[in-house]
């Protein structure tokens, strides 16, 4: 883990879970897996605090535990999962676009709580939706349930590994920690529940809610408590599936920008058909025959079969190899290549052609640098002289730009000796782009940027803390006064408590914080592209 | 040659191959680490706006705010004050180190992490006291009494989450007894009591209708 990643993880934990959890997480990230007592010693916190923190981290899948052979339990932090906290808004927004408000709230609740049982999640979401509806209307559980089932069917949520069913006899001592496991095929099976009910508003009959809560909790005394029918079955968000979706979106938009709308629709249809059949690490989708594709095209698109075939042929012939032809049965079978990174032949689609990365270089180094960079990407190895010629840039400038990029490690020098003694005067020096190294370097920079942005945002909030508190107090007073029906003059008086310049300061603060937050979201998009590129390139044999 | 003092910086290889011609001025050597805030040569591109961006921004801020309020945001326990004050008994309790505010599924966690679950006003859970075992029947009777009592009062003060102030090391029975005392003893309506310390957003909960 690089320093930048560590720092970012720290900040994320601190912002969302507090200082105690941050300290524990930090210790695990920096020093590696350790058992409980070492953690307590390291962090200097109270044992109970450390236990609480670990419970929180395990609940949210940020830390996992392993039972060591000698019986102690070690805790391991999952750094890449911690970094995903940055992407939560994107997951929630995607769920909203795909499944509407119930979907959005379901994913949000699952992310906020780490994992939940289906009955619990559905109840919570129904309550929240009811709050937003007009008076007298409530949200029925069945609608939320059906959205839940759809999310599970398309693999956006999955079951958590379960506690083993082993019956423990009285003599056998239970293991220090349960070994949770789940089979791949069980991961998306929704338990048969008949969840009947409607959402409740907060101030309506609480006695019912009380009884419900009692039923849900496990009582030690046993007896009259009922455990919910899906006890022990917890659900979590399947982040990999969301990533697959983002990647598909990027592919479709790349096709659209390179060709036209219709071809992007074709690719989108192909991807949709193979959503759940594509394994998460696969490089190609399953082959789809053109007949199938024709049948699955969205209703609005009435293009003829021949036209579709022509489009498919065009896509397959494109040097960027979005679509490959894999056979001739059923009118020709086609697959979509779903990894970033070089294909089998000439021109590799590298991440640098992704729309979010293309502006990176010109804005940092100038458009001419970007020209040289793209040239090197395409031609692989070029001598100094050749760079000047191809890029049509005067020698002096070209030299300067090349050295700058060299010092930033975006390009590197490759030596090709002419003689076995590697004499410098008889060696070729070629400039080249090492895509993996450049991608890694940029990713590191991205982590650093987000960490910087977060620190700056926190700094801004700290600086204006007094003013923020004051404005919150004033708002609270206003709200309570409005509730008790005060007159306009009194309200005005209270509003005047915040002076003009203070109001402006608050405005500026709000604008800055919004800008910083939006930037963080933006950088996270770039992080996603770079990370998935690096991951898929490393996976290839 | 070694070129000490003669000719400027001679390298082992032919520098012309890399492009440094004769007589070109090389940049001066760097004698210090790069500046902390290097000058911006060109401004960054404007952020992409649009509905998606706005919505995600709102989501992000909302998420941050929501997570601060959840029990997963672990706050350190309130430090003990030097003198026990009378008002401590009636304050909305501050976080406590030795209790966890939510009820995880203990079957999924290592045994060593078990910690007492703090009971909240709504939805009582059986607190798990690892060491002390209270006689079961006594607990049951107390629980029954409490649940009956709660049903009476639930309607009246639902919006308040009244948590008791627990001092470390108190036994279960004592706590339950305390709570009963609370509810029977005070003639004062607890929502009216405000020692002025919590004048921030917390006080929103106290703004509901009068309770008799």
**Tens digits of residue pLDDT in A274-318:** 776 766 666 677 777 777 777 777 766 777 778 888 888 888 777
Structure tokens at A15: 């912002």
Q: What is the pLDDT of residue A164?
A: 73
Which of B34, B46, B113 best tests the A interface by mutation, with the highest count of A CBs <10 A? B113
Residue A93 confidence (pLDDT) above 70:
yes
- Reported as a pLDDT band with limits 50, 70 and 90, residue A336 is confident
Question: C-alpha distances in angstroms, A49 versus A129, A232, B73, B75?
Answer: 35, 26, 12, 9
Greater confidence (A77 vs A535) lies with A77
A351-433 has which fold?
A: Arc Repressor Mutant, subunit A (1.10.10)
Q: Are A96 and A242 in contact (CB under 8 A)?
A: no
Q: What is the pLDDT of residue A249?
A: 86
Per-residue pLDDT of B78-132, as tens digits, reads: 777 777 777 777 776 677 777 787 888 888 888 888 887 776 554 333 444 444 4
- Reported as a pLDDT band with limits 50, 70 and 90, residue A454 is very high
Establish if A232 touches chain B: CB-CB under 8 angstroms.
yes
Which of A48, A52, A388 best tests the B interface by mutation, with the highest count of B CBs <10 A? A52
Residue in B47, B154, B203 nearest the CB of A519: B47
CA distance A337 to chain B (A): 27
Please judge whether A424 and B12 are an interchain contact, meaning their C-beta atoms are less than 8 angstroms apart.
yes
Q: What is the pLDDT of residue B66?
A: 92
Highest mean pLDDT, choosing among B10-19, B93-102, B193-202 = B93-102
Q: What is the pLDDT of residue A493?
A: 80
Q: What is the pLDDT of residue A343?
A: 34
Residue B134 confidence (pLDDT) above 90:
no
- Reported as a pLDDT band with limits 50, 70 and 90, residue A320 is low
Chain B residue closest in CA terms to A474: B200
CA distance B110 to chain A (A): 4
CATH of A79-163+183-200+232-237 given 3.40.1530.20, 3.40.50.2300, 1.10.10.10, 3.40.50.720: 1.10.10.10
For chain A, positions 277-296, list CB contacts with chain B under 8 A.
none
CA distance B14 to chain A (A): 5
Q: What is the pLDDT of residue B126?
A: 40
Residue A333 confidence (pLDDT) above 70:
yes
Residue in B61, B115, B207 nearest the CB of A48: B115
Cβ neighbour number for residue B120 with a 10 Å cutoff: 16
Chain B residue closest in CA terms to A356: B48
Residue B193 confidence (pLDDT) above 60:
no
Cβ-Cβ contacts under 8 Å between A and B: the total is 193
To which residue do tokens 């700058």 refer?
A: A404
Chain B residue closest in CA terms to A202: B159
Q: What is the pLDDT of residue A346?
A: 28
Please judge whether A18 and B73 are an interchain contact, meaning their C-beta atoms are less than 8 angstroms apart.
yes
Mean pLDDT over A126-155 rounds to 84
- Reported as a pLDDT band with limits 50, 70 and 90, residue A107 is very high
Residue in A59, A206, A399 nearest the CB of B154: A206
Please judge whether A522 and B47 are an interchain contact, meaning their C-beta atoms are less than 8 angstroms apart.
yes
Please judge whether A54 and B113 are an interchain contact, meaning their C-beta atoms are less than 8 angstroms apart.
yes
Q: What percent of chain A has pLDDT over 70?
A: 82
Please judge whether B105 and A518 are an interchain contact, meaning their C-beta atoms are less than 8 angstroms apart.
no
CA distance A119 to chain B (A): 15
Please judge whether A366 and B42 are an interchain contact, meaning their C-beta atoms are less than 8 angstroms apart.
yes
Which of B110, B120, B123, B127 best tests the A interface by mutation, with the highest count of A CBs <10 A? B110
Residue in A18, A60, A92 nearest the CB of B59: A92
Q: What percent of chain A has pLDDT over 90?
A: 23
Q: Are A25 and A13 in contact (CB under 8 A)?
A: yes
Please judge whether B207 and A483 are an interchain contact, meaning their C-beta atoms are less than 8 angstroms apart.
yes
Establish if A203 touches chain B: CB-CB under 8 angstroms.
yes
Taking the C-alpha atoms of residue A471 and residue A474, their distance in angstroms, rounded to an integer, is 5
Please judge whether A399 and B19 are an interchain contact, meaning their C-beta atoms are less than 8 angstroms apart.
yes
Mean pLDDT over B61-75 rounds to 90
Greater confidence (A190 vs B200) lies with A190
Residue A83 confidence (pLDDT) above 90:
yes
Residue in B112, B114, B199 nearest the CB of A473: B199
Q: What is the pLDDT of residue A175?
A: 64
Q: How far apart are the first and last CA of chain B?
A: 100
Q: How far apart are the first and last CA of chain A?
A: 24
Mean pLDDT over A310-336 rounds to 74
Per-residue pLDDT of A503-522, as tens digits, reads: 899 999 999 999 999 999 98
Residue A529 confidence (pLDDT) above 50:
yes
- Reported as a pLDDT band with limits 50, 70 and 90, residue B60 is very high
Q: Kindly report which listed range (A44-48, A249-253, A281-285, B164-168) carries the lowest average pLDDT score.
A: B164-168
Please judge whether A210 and B76 are an interchain contact, meaning their C-beta atoms are less than 8 angstroms apart.
no
Q: Are A283 and A540 in contact (CB under 8 A)?
A: yes
The values of phi and psi at residue A236, to 5°, are: -135, 165
Q: What is the pLDDT of residue A521?
A: 92
Beta strands in B72-159, from DSSP E residues, in sequence order: 99-100, 116-117
One DSSP character per residue, B136-196 reads: HHHHHHHHHHHHHHHHHHHTTSTT---PPP--TT--HHHHHHHHHHHHHH--S-GGG---S
For chain A, positions 430-459, list CB contacts with chain B under 8 A.
none
Mean of the per-residue pLDDT values of chain A: 80
Q: Are A122 and A229 in contact (CB under 8 A)?
A: no
Mean pLDDT over A179-193 rounds to 73
CATH of A3-77 given 2.60.40.10, 1.10.10.10, 3.90.400.10, 3.90.1150.10: 1.10.10.10
A239-336 has which fold?
A: Arc Repressor Mutant, subunit A (1.10.10)
Q: Kindly report which listed range (A151-160, A480-489, B8-17) carries the lowest average pLDDT score.
A: B8-17
Establish if A36 touches chain B: CB-CB under 8 angstroms.
yes
Taking the C-alpha atoms of residue A290 and residue A270, their distance in angstroms, rounded to an integer, is 10
B99-100 and B116-117 strand pairing? parallel
The values of phi and psi at residue B24, to 5°, are: -75, 140
CA distance A502 to chain B (A): 19
CA distance A449 to chain B (A): 13
- Reported as a pLDDT band with limits 50, 70 and 90, residue B212 is low
Q: What is the pLDDT of residue B76?
A: 81
């Amino acid at each position: 883990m690089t320093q930048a990643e560590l720092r970012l993880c720290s900040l994320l934990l601190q912002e969302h879970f507090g200082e105690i959890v941050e300290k524990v997480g930090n210790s695990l990230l920096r020093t590696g897996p350790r058992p409980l007592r070492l953690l307590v010693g390291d962090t200097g916190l109270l044992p109970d605090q450390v236990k609480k923190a670990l419970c929180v981290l395990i609940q949210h899948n940020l830390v996992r535990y392993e039972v060591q052979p000698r019986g102690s339990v070690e805790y391991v932090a999952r750094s890449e999962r911690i970094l995903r906290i940055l992407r939560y808004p994107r997951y929630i927004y995607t769920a909203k676009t795909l499944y509407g408000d119930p979907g959005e709230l379901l994913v949000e609740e699952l992310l906020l709580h780490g994992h939940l049982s289906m009955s619990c999640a559905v109840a919570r979401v129904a309550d929240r939706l009811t709050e937003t509806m007009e008076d007298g209307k409530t949200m029925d559980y069945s609608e939320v349930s059906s959205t839940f089932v759809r999310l599970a069917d398309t693999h956006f949520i999955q079951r958590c590994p379960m506690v083993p069913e082993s019956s423990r006899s009285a003599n056998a001592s239970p293991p220090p920690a349960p070994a949770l496991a789940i089979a791949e095929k069980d991961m998306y099976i929704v338990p048969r529940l008949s969840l009947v009910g409607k959402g409740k508003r907060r101030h309506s009959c609480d006695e019912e809610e009380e009884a419900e809560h009692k039923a849900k909790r496990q009582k030690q005394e046993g007896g009259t408590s009922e455990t919910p029918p899906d006890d022990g079955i917890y659900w979590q968000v399947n982040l990999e599936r969301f990533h697959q979706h983002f990647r598909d979106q990027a592919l479709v938009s790349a096709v659209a920008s390179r060709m036209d709308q219709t071809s992007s629709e074709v690719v989108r249809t192909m991807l949709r058909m193979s959503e759940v059949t594509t394994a998460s690490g696969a490089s190609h989708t399953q082959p789809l025959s053109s007949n199938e594709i024709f049948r699955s095209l969205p209703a609005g698109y009435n293009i003829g079969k021949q036209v579709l075939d022509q489009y498919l042929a065009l896509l397959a012939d494109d040097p960027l190899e979005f679509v490959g032809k894999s056979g001739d049965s059923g009118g020709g079978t086609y697959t979509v290549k779903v990894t970033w990174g070089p294909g089998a032949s000439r021109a590799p689609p590298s991440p640098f052609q992704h729309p979010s990365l293309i502006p990176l270089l010109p804005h940092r180094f100038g458009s001419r640098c970007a020209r040289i960079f793209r040239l090197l990407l395409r031609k692989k190895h070029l001598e100094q002289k050749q760079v000047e010629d191809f890029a049509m840039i005067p020698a002096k400038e070209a030299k300067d730009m090349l050295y700058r990029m060299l010092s930033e490690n975006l390009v590197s020098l490759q030596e090709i000796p002419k003689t076995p003694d590697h004499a410098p005067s008889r060696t070729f020096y070629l400039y080249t782009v090492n895509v993996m190294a450049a991608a890694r370097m940029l990713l590191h920079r991205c982590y650093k940027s987000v960490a910087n942005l977060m620190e700056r945002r926190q700094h801004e909030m700290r600086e204006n803390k007094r003013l923020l508190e004051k404005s919150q107090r004033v708002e609270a007073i206003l709200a309570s006064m409005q509730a008790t029906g005060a007159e306009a003059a009194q309200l005005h008086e209270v509003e005047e408590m915040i002076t003009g310049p203070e109001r402006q300061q608050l405005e500026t603060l709000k604008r800055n914080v919004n800008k910083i937050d939006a930037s963080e979201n933006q950088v996270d998009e770039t992080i996603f592209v770079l990370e998935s590129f690096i991951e898929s390139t490393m996976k290839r044999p | 040659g070694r070129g000490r003092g003669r000719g400027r910086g001679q390298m082992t290889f032919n520098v012309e191959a890399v492009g440094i011609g004769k007589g070109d001025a090389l940049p001066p050597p760097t004698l210090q680490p790069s500046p902390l805030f290097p000058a911006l040569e060109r401004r960054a591109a404007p952020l992409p706006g649009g509905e998606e961006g706005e919505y995600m921004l709102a989501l992000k801020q909302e998420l941050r705010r929501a997570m601060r309020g959840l029990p997963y945001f672990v706050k350190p326990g309130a430090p003990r004050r030097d003198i026990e004050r009378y008002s401590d008994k009636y304050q909305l309790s501050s976080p406590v180190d030795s209790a966890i505010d939510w009820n995880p599924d203990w079957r999924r966690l290592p045994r060593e992490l078990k910690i007492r679950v703090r009971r909240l006003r709504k939805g009582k859970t059986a607190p798990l006291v690892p060491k002390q075992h209270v006689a079961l029947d006594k607990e049951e009777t107390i629980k029954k009494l409490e649940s009956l009592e709660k049903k009476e009062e639930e309607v009246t003060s639902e919006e308040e989450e009244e948590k008791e102030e627990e001092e470390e090391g108190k036994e279960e029975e004592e706590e339950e007894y305390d709570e009963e005392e609370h509810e029977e003893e005070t003639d004062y309506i607890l929502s009216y009591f405000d020692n002025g310390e919590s004048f921030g957003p917390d006080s929103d909960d106290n703004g509901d209708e009068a309770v008799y």
